[in-house]
């Protein structure tokens, strides 16, 4: 038995239920996989239209955050 997640007709994630494994454990593994892959973030971004200027600002903020993290890491 497999658990699939589809987003916009694209195959995204699969979790196969192992032998002697409960469905609850498989769902827990699926949730962890969803968190690691960032699927929810992508879904939220596609819920509404984002203007190009907003997209540019979001990317600039992310770049600033990453640069700040790197500076703290290598001090």
pLDDT (0 to 100) of residue 69: 92
Q: How confident is the model at residue 30 (pLDDT cuts 50, 70, 90)?
A: confident
Please, is 17 exposed, middle or buried when counting C-beta atoms within 10 Å of its C-beta (0-12, 13-18, 19+)?
middle
Position 7 in a domain = yes
Residue 74 within any structural domain of the chain: no
72 in any annotated domain: no
The reply to whether 53 falls in a domain is no
Tell me whether residue 18 is in a domain.
yes
Range of the domain at 27: 1-37
74 or 54: which leads in pLDDT: 54
The pLDDT-based confidence of 65 (bands split at 50, 70, 90) is very high
Residue 24 lies in a domain: yes
Does the model's pTM come out above 0.75? Answer: no
d(CA 63, CA 60): 5
Per the prediction, the chain carries an average pLDDT of 85
Q: How confident is the model at residue 7 (pLDDT cuts 50, 70, 90)?
A: low
Domain count, the chain: 1
């Amino acid at each position: 038995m497999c658990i699939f997640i589809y987003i916009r007709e694209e195959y995204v994630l699969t979790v196969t239920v192992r032998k002697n494994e409960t469905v609850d454990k498989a769902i827990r593994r699926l949730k962890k996989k969803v968190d690691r892959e960032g699927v929810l973030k992508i879904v939220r971004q596609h819920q509404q239209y984002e203007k190009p200027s907003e997209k540019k600002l979001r990317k600039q903020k992310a770049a600033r955050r990453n640069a700040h993290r790197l500076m703290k890491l290598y001090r």
